[in-house]
Structure 1
Amino acid sequence: MFSRGIELKKPEQIIKMRAAGLVVARIHEEFAKAVAPGVTTGELDALGRELLAQEGATSNFLNYGAEWGYPPYPGVACISVNEEVVHGIPGERRLQDGDIVSIDFGAIVDGWHGDAARTFLVGDVDQKARDLSEHTRQSMWAGFAAARLGGRVGDISHAIEVDIESRDKGYGIVREYTGHGIGTAMHQPPDVPNFGKAGRGPKVTEGLVLAVEPMVTLGSEDMVTLDDDWTVVTHDGTWAAHWENTMTVTRHGIWILTELDGGEAELTARGLPFGPLAD
């Protein structure tokens, strides 16, 4: 069912999306174990391919963009290191001690999509970069905390912006790339910016599923796309972090489809209602 171009899912369809979300969550757990100094981004992508096959799922990233005339994306994971913000192409780049690496990864199960990103620390990472990743992660959860039935998508965006700005660290909030609706396609309306005014945007209703994904830098928010037409880096060379989860709001509360526990621990710690349809 579509409302103003937005795909609203029935409960049984959201449960299918949870299956895709769990595949993504489980594979991110394996990425966390594999990230280490000396590992190449290509080796991480190969791990993602192997695990997708084991799960009986397919990739929503591989060959993405071809239908719109872009160079087809060649990996199953976007792997972005340090100054790379998003869409890093996996290859021969070898992770170094002290790096941070953002892995954006998705899966399709029975035609339904899951999408999530994590920023991983490689070895002994300095406190400034650790804080950047953790504060980006916390801003994502601040966005979830602002989501409620009858509210607006802009409430999520505003909460992310306020949380990042409250850190008083001079962070840059990436504006060029946003979260998005998700369902029978990976990217759907509505956009979910990481900044904006509360009370604006589409209404949050039952059946709306969103990928919320703050991207934050240690400096400027300005981006540059490299000659491969995919890799996006910070204009000033500062490092960036990226966190993302797929979520929905049910009549019972908030459900994070790409967390193994559905987000229960984080939501409960914030005094927020946990609202799975089934788990």
Structure 2
Amino acid sequence: MIELRTPAEIEQMRPAGRFVASVLQATSAAAKVGVNLLELDELAHRMIRDAGAESCYIDYHPSFGASPFGKVICTSVNDAVLHGLPHDYVLRDGDLVSLDFAASVNGWVADSAISVIVGTPKPADQRLIRTTEEALAAGIDAARVGNKIGDISAAIGSVGKGHGYKINLDFGGHGVGRTMHGDPHVPNDGRAKRGLPLKPGLVLAIEPWWLETTDRIFTDPDGWTLRSRDGSRGAHSEHTIAITPDGPLVLTARD
């Protein structure tokens, strides 16, 4: 079911957005050579406890997950691009890390993701990350009253394909509110002027992601982490936004 939020409810979602942004700022800054993924998860977990927030991931068990997630942040490294389950891995120079985090504050959820390079950057990785961020900005700009879901999807896909990347449609953006995942689904490619009309009060997580040389993925033996079929690297960028009469409002904006 698609729910529209009142202006007062959107204001109530701001603390969740700010908190999710702060956790991603802290964990991305901590993602350095020699740091274990489990340390990043513990940092996020500690911030959740200190803020009195609730994790959206730790007990999460959708149909595509082998078991409850069991951790509080997704840490996808190199050829992993989504749903990376934190494990005993020490970050190395040149690793590309995507961090995806969602939490509930006062009953409202926000969801966001960022990709960063640990240590020495590779130009191809920088380009990969930059294009997901460019696509995210394009998708947000299209999230305006009078447009349709297809306008967001087309804007994202145009950027990705324009840079030569293939777009996987298995996973994409989604509605956000009292729970992390809700209707509508927001594919990362589509046709403009098609689909659900965008109305004030619709809150969405918009999340372009792609891999360097393929659009095919498989699930790691951990039952969660999604990796590229050909070993190429992936990047992921995401914000939770609210559609308002004055334009899109980014609830998870980072300083």
TM-score (norm 2): 0.96
Percent identity between the two aligned chains? 40
Runs of 4+ aligned residues of structure 1 deviating over 2 Å after TM superposition are: 66-70
Match of 2:97 among 87, 101, 116: 101
Match of 2:185 among 188, 191, 214: 191
Counterpart in 1 of 2:224? 230
Unaligned runs of 5+ in 2: none
Unaligned runs of 5+ in 1: 262-279
Match of 2:246 among 242, 248, 252: 252
When the two chains are superposed, the root-mean-square deviation of aligned CA atoms in Å is 1.4
CA contact (8 A) 2:211 2:233 kept: yes
How far did 1:29 drift?
A: 1.1
Residue 78 (structure 2) pairs with residue 82 (structure 1): yes
| Count of aligned pairs | 255
Match of 2:149 among 148, 153, 156: 153
Q: Encode CA deviations 1:105-162: one digit per residue, 9 max, x unaligned.
A: 0110111100000001100011011110011111110111112102101100000011
CA distance in 1, matches of 2:87, 2:204: 30
Q: Encode CA deviations 1:39-76: one digit per residue, 9 max, x unaligned.
A: 11111000000011112211111110169984000110
Give SS of 1:180's match.
strand
Matching residue's letter, 2:247: G
Match of 2:29 among 33, 45, 48: 33
Q: Which has the higher contact order (CA 8 A, sep 6+)?
A: 2
Report the CA distance shift for 1:177/1:69 in structure 2 as closer, same or farther (over 3 A).
Answer: closer
Counterpart in 2 of 1:65? 61
CA distance in 2, matches of 1:176, 1:66: 14
CA distance in 1, matches of 2:141, 2:34: 38
How far did 1:260 drift?
A: 3.8
CA distance in 1, matches of 2:76, 2:88: 13
How far did 1:13 drift?
A: 1.1
CA contact (8 A) 1:101 1:122 kept: yes
CA distance in 2, matches of 1:14, 1:185: 14
How far did 1:92 drift?
A: 0.6
CA distance in 2, matches of 1:130, 1:31: 19
Match of 2:123 among 109, 127, 135: 127
Matching residue's letter, 1:151: N
Matching residue's letter, 1:208: L
TM-score (norm 1): 0.88
CA contact (8 A) 2:2 2:183 kept: yes
Give SS of 1:165's match.
helix
Residue 108 (structure 2) pairs with residue 112 (structure 1): yes
CA distance in 2, matches of 1:42, 1:55: 20
Match of 1:11 among 1, 7, 15: 7
How far did 1:174 drift?
A: 2.3
Counterpart in 2 of 1:46? 42
Report the CA distance shift for 1:67/1:194 in structure 2 as closer, same or farther (over 3 A).
Answer: closer
1:164-183 matched pairs, under 5 angstroms: 164-167=160-163, 170-183=164-177
CA distance in 2, matches of 1:28, 1:68: 24
CA distance in 2, matches of 1:132, 1:66: 28
CA distance in 2, matches of 1:11, 1:67: 33
Match of 2:209 among 183, 205, 215: 215
